[in-house]
Structure 1
């Protein structure tokens, strides 16, 4: 199961003025291409939303729940409403949301509209791009409050719910992601594809980041 994350530029995140700790916002916008080059379509979460409450996390960390929320799919977006926990962490994150230091929302989801990866690999460039770039069905996993400008790396997919920051500097372990499978297939078949170039760029970015961290650590 590959969990993906998206952050949308939106001002639709409001924290209640009262002491009850309520909040509401838009976690996902439809019909708008994001920084990953993908577009969520209306009805994407129609069958992928639980009726009960979800854990509201900070920076996608399952070890730092800060509240709960319920999700409701609207014609143009995924709306969430909930309340912060009456804990020190919940109160701190509420204060950060109100100050602006951490007031962005990031949605974690699993796509349910993708064919088996080998079938996708065999598609022509246009058909494959249409499938990958248009998200028509997905299951909501969680929504996180994240610090300003700390979105996950465009084009990356995370296998487990972990910090978006950690994903910048940690090599992927375990089974390869869908993007990695497709890139390897294209390389093996001599196919000059956009996804192969994308994965090479990500590898170079991670390698450069690791070299910078090593240099700093060794200073």
Structure 2
């Protein structure tokens, strides 16, 4: 059963770079972002499971924005710019990885902060609260993405070395960042999601308890049950 799910995710990942899939990714990201932006603190139900579900919608929207910004825009631009400016395809590998990681973190946290502006602005220590949440997300993202980057960079280096063996000119002209991104999406998407989702859901549950207190203060609601239920309840 687990193998079947893994293969299904990997098959889905192999479709990521098709033009139709890119369009679908953009449409789905826009839909998630619109849904997340429609959530109003005044309308949020005062039970912990509903709060966590709505936070999860915001999380998936921020994740979708970061995927588009990093995988489809920033990382290929950074990678190919460095590769062709330096004339070294291996430099394109680390530039792709760095561009992807940096843009993913920045775009995710900007989107997350914007979607939860009321929550973070409600605290006198809002900067410390956001920094604490952001640092937790960064640790989770790093633990999930580093294996993916290691696999993508290694396979890309092997591929370009093989191409260089036959034609040095082709190796230096080959758009290696596209290969690196393709490997990450084709081969590693299932690995990334499996390492990312569970700790992220657990973190959202912890944030939900604090968010419930914020809503209680904001809306004058009766005391909210902030007991953290099983992570599966987010679904």
Give the TM-score taking structure 2 as reference length: 0.28
- The structure with the largest alpha-carbon Rg is 2
Higher relative contact order (Cα pairs below 8 Å, separated by 6+ residues): 2
Identify, as 1 or 2, the structure richer in helix. Answer: 2
Identify, as 1 or 2, the structure richer in strand. Answer: 1
